[in-house]
Amino acid sequence: MTTTAPAPPEAGPAAPGPVRRVLTGLRRNKLALTGALILLALLAFCFLGPLLHPTDQIHTDLTRANRAPGAGHLLGTTDLGYDLLGRLMYGGRTSLEVGLAAGLLATLLGTVYGAVAGYFGGWLDAVMMRVTDAALAIPALFLLVVVATLVTPSKPVLILVIASVAWLSPARLLRGEALALRSRDYVHAMRLMGGGTGRAVFRHILPNALGTVVVNATFQVADAILYVAYLSFLGLSLPPPAVDWGSLLSAGITYTQVGHWWLIFPPGLAIVLVVAAFNFLGDGLRDAFDVRLDTGRGSHR
């Protein structure tokens, strides 16, 4: 994914602030708006839903296992007798919490790493980037499976494990941004006036790469949610009775042959929706940050 950093602040009283410009851009982008709405709906479903539809998601009840959707259980029950609608709500919490935290942590780590490598350049950049290249050469899923096998999964562990493989892509992206930004005049001017490295990286390079970072973060979150699903699907999820959408889907697949569709489609749909929502949002943000596409102001660079 390529993004373009916003130009340095322009002079002129008519120019709106960057936040406002992004919000305006988002409002005009229907896909991004749809993404944001889906996301809001899913958040409400997962975090407010249990208030309207309280269910016992701790204790199993084999007497009502594998019931098809109907009265009492709108989406049916699982093979352990859990109400599936309630289970989707609880599962979504895990998926969203871990996905958001892991995606943001990966973005943070990658951003700082890439900015430092790009700003300093030279041998330090070469060493740091070879490290990321080497890490990228190892399939992420393989690493995740190995680590998740060695440690007992918990939410913090999942977040750290996923972030530890996901930071590589933002690192490379930000390194490219930093390479370009460090030769800008305002950075040179700051250095001539006696500004230090920290100021250059944290006050000039990173804020100017913010658009790239924010857009990338949305994709990172989407990827992290998928990673949670992958791991759960492979049986490396949180110990029961904790649940997430991936493990719900994995459990449902067992019953493909017996036609228990309600165990498969709802969690599958939820994963597709949340990943699509973050991707729509990311695309919208990218367009909003990209001043070259800012047709509303009529100024093409």
Partner 1 sequence: MGPHRTRTPAPGKRLGAEGRAGRLVAAVLLGAAALVGCGPPGNVVTELGPTGGVPVEGGTATMALPPASTPNWIFPIGAPGYLASYNSAIQDLLFLRLYLPEKKGDALTLDSPRGLAEKPRYGDGNRTVSITLKKGYRWSDGRPVTTRDVKFWFDLIKANRQEWAGYSPKLMPDDVTAFKILDDRTFRLRLDRAYNPAWFTANELQDFVALPVHAWNPHHEDPRRAFARLMRHARQFSAFATDPLWKTVDGPWKIAKWTTAGQVELIPNTHYSGPDKPHLDRVVLKPFTTADSEFNVLRAGGVDYGYLPPSVMAQSAKFRAMGYRIDPWEGWAITYLVLNYHHPTAGPLLRQTYLRQALQHLIDQKTISRVIWHGSAAPTLGPVPAGLLATDPYPYDPQRAKALLADHGWAARDGVLRCVRPGRGAGACGAGIEDGQELRLSLLSQSGSTETSNTMQVLKSEFDTAGIALDVRQQPLNTVLGTTVPCRTADPVCSAWQLGFFGTQGSWYFPPDPSGEKIFASNAPSNMGSWADRRTDELIRATEYSDDPAALRAYGREVARRLPVLWTPNPAYQVSAIRNDLRGVDQNPTLSLAPQDWYYVKKGGVGR
Q: Which residues bind partner 1 (CB under 8 A)?
A: 58-60, 62-63, 65-66, 79-80, 149, 152, 235-236, 239-241, 251, 254-255, 257-258
| Cβ-based nearer residue to partner 1, 70 or 240 | 240
Measured between alpha carbons, how far is 218 from 3 in angstroms, rounded to an integer?
A: 13
CB of 254 to partner 1, least distance (A): 5
In the Cβ-directed half-sphere of 114, how many Cα atoms lie within 13 Å? Answer: 28
CB of 252 to partner 1, least distance (A): 10
Beta-bridged to residue 52, according to DSSP, are none
CB of 262 to partner 1, least distance (A): 15
Answer yes or no: are the C-beta atoms of 116 and 200 closer than 8 Å: no
| Cβ-based nearer residue to partner 1, 52 or 150 | 150
CB of 227 to partner 1, least distance (A): 18
CB of 259 to partner 1, least distance (A): 8
Rounded (5°) CA angle 9-10-14: 120
| Cβ-based nearer residue to partner 1, 77 or 216 | 77
| Cβ-based nearer residue to partner 1, 197 or 254 | 254
| Cβ-based nearer residue to partner 1, 10 or 56 | 56
